[in-house]
Chains A and B, each alone.
Chain A
Amino acid sequence: MTRILAHGTGEAAAFPVDITYALIGGSWALAISFLVLAFAWKTPRLDPAKHWAVLPRLTRFADARGVREALGVLGLVLAVGALVVGFTARHQHDNPLVGTFFIWLWVGLVPASLVFGPIGKVVSPVRTLHRLVCTALHRSPARGLRPYPSWLGRWPAAVGLFAFVWLELAVVHKGVAAVAWWCLAYLVVTAAGAIVFGDRWFARAEPFEVYSGVIATMSPLARDASSRELVLRNPLCGLSTYRTGAGAVAVIAVLLGSTAFDAWSATHRATGIPARTAILLLFVVVVGVSFWLATMAVGGVTRERRLSIPGKMAHTLIPIAVGYLVAHYAKYFVEDGQEVLHSWLTAFGADEPAAWTPFTDHPTLGSVLAVAAIVVGHLLAVVAAHDAALRILPKRHHLTGQLALMLLMVGYTFTGLWLLFGG
């Protein structure tokens, strides 16, 4: 039995000051920043077209066919290897599949996408497989049997992400076999979708590619919209490039609700998969519906326009989600990431090198990083929401239209920290 993602405990004990101050201070910081923004930031500034520098050499490197093919094949080999090991290895303990899947893929995509942009699509094994098969059959990867229905938007990705967090968080005491079967089901569904709808399916429905794309909106590395060259930019400028449309809020609600559930379930032991599934779903629905309602609490707009606001504001939740991901996963990425490498090495009969464990050695580091990531994530969200409100709300309602969302974000901050510290 492998339970690799037990929530990191001891944050409250390790935090250098009484965490009451963190709870109240974080919430106050948000309200005060909102007040400053209201008076000091009166025109939209976060223009996605702006950038600091163009990087032509890096663009040539990143666009080189060899680099892309190599990364794609690496993802494919790793995925096939992990599945084979998952189904065949006798030892449940230290099986590389579980760590590769939960740590390298899920946790690793966070820093990789923050640094390199939407790298999920480059290393996606099913995308690579689809491309190779299409090349062999001399057909365009974009061609499917039917056009992708636009009303479906990113709902399939939201469902896929929920299926992942369900396996990660709701299925307690999962064996390697459960993970292997989940991966196999994922491969079958993703491949079937690509056959029916062409490679557009990956961009809309493949959970890990969408997850990587969401995080990548905060990367300082991006493509210029017209020249397609890689540029360095203010990470906040990219947020509004998050695509609106069906499922835009749902995708982020799954990410945010599941991290909240992760924190909650560390101290509240709801047993049984049905109960945990229901509570996980409840967390996601509460996050999504509260955001949907708060963003629509705006005067002076028609009904249709009001209904379009949650999608246009959905990107403002991304810094919060990324903050939680960093808070929850920094330790896993640094320490468990090495363990996964070790499990691969031992699977091939090599010796384990010594591990570097800064978070275990210095518990204060983890707790301070977690609080900082959550508070900074929310502060950036308030900035992004203010800028978006200036762009999309009627002028008379620039400030009042944000009040409900600001209160909600203070609520998210307080609840997030409160849950992290064990309720």
Chain B
Amino acid sequence: MRTVYLADHSVVLALPAFVPAFIVVGVIVAMVVRDRRRGDDEHDDQPFLDEDEMLDEDDRQLDESTDDRGEDR
């Protein structure tokens, strides 16, 4: 069988494709590093759930998923 390639694109294209993504990573990392050095980083005023609460939440989700209510039409 003969395979005809309609288009051939080298993976090198991935380099320009990723440039903005790496710039974004660089910008955000630079900002975070600067903020942390300055030390005016806000505290975790809203720490996400602590360990016990998280376990409770997992249990709740398990419970929810086990009671199998019709949720469709």
Q: Which residues of A are interface residues toward B (Cβ below 8 A)? A: 9-10, 12-13, 19-20, 23-24, 26-28, 30-32, 34-35, 38, 58, 61-63, 67, 116-119, 121-122, 142, 148, 150, 199-200, 203, 216, 221-223, 228, 230, 243-245, 267, 269, 302, 304-305, 308, 391-396, 399-400, 403, 406-407, 410-411, 414, 418, 421-423
Q: Which of B5, B44, B54 contacts A396 (CB 8 A)?
A: B44
Check A400 against B28 for contact (C-beta < 8 Å).
yes
Q: A121-B72, A269-B3 are in contact. Are A150 and B16 (CB under 8 A)?
A: no
Check A399 against B72 for contact (C-beta < 8 Å).
no
A20 to B71, CA, bound (A): 43
Q: Which of A13, A269, A305 contacts B6 (CB 8 A)?
A: A13
Chain A residues within 8 Å of B14, by CB: 414, 418
Count of A-B contacts with CB under 8 A?
143
Q: Which of B13, B32, B44, B58 contacts A20 (CB 8 A)?
A: B13
Q: Which of A20, A35, A304, A411 contacts B9 (CB 8 A)?
A: A20
- List residues of B (8-33) whose CB comes within 8 Å of A's CBs: 8-9, 11, 13-14, 16-18, 20-25, 27-29, 32
Chain B residues within 8 Å of A199, by CB: 68
The distance from the CB of A128 to the nearest CB of chain B, in whole angstroms, is 13
Check B20 against A423 for contact (C-beta < 8 Å).
no
Q: What are 15 A-B residue pairs whose CB atoms fall within 8 Å in the complex?
A: A12-B7, A27-B18, A27-B20, A28-B17, A58-B73, A61-B73, A67-B73, A116-B72, A117-B72, A122-B72, A150-B66, A406-B24, A410-B18, A414-B14, A418-B13
- The residue among A24, A67, A406 with the most chain B CB atoms within 10 A of its own CB is A24
Check A400 against B7 for contact (C-beta < 8 Å).
no
Check A267 against B5 for contact (C-beta < 8 Å).
yes
Chain B residues within 8 Å of A394, by CB: 44, 47-48
Q: Which of A34, A228, A244, A395 contacts B47 (CB 8 A)?
A: A395
Q: Which of A118, A410, A418 contacts B72 (CB 8 A)?
A: A118
A410 to B18, CA, bound (A): 7
Q: Which residues of B are interface residues toward A (Cβ below 8 A)? A: 1, 3, 5-9, 11, 13-14, 16-18, 20-25, 27-29, 32, 41-42, 44-48, 51, 54, 58, 61-62, 64-66, 68-73
**9 nearest A-B pairs in the assembled complex, by CB-CB distance:** A62-B73, A12-B7, A27-B17, A31-B20, A31-B21, A118-B72, A410-B21, A223-B71, A243-B65
Check A38 against B11 for contact (C-beta < 8 Å).
no
A392 to B48, CA, bound (A): 6
The distance from the CB of B60 to the nearest CB of chain A, in whole angstroms, is 11
The distance from the CB of B73 to the nearest CB of chain A, in whole angstroms, is 3
Check A117 against B73 for contact (C-beta < 8 Å).
yes
Check A414 against B17 for contact (C-beta < 8 Å).
yes
Check B58 against A24 for contact (C-beta < 8 Å).
no
A103 to B9, CA, bound (A): 31
Chain B residues within 8 Å of A148, by CB: 66
Q: Please name 10 further chain A to chain B contacts, defined as beta carbons within 8 Å, in addition to the given A12-B7, A19-B9, A394-B47, sorted by A numbering.
A: A12-B6, A24-B16, A31-B24, A38-B28, A200-B68, A243-B65, A396-B44, A403-B25, A418-B9, A421-B7
Check B7 against A23 for contact (C-beta < 8 Å).
no
Q: Which of B1, B23, B64, B66 contacts A200 (CB 8 A)?
A: B66
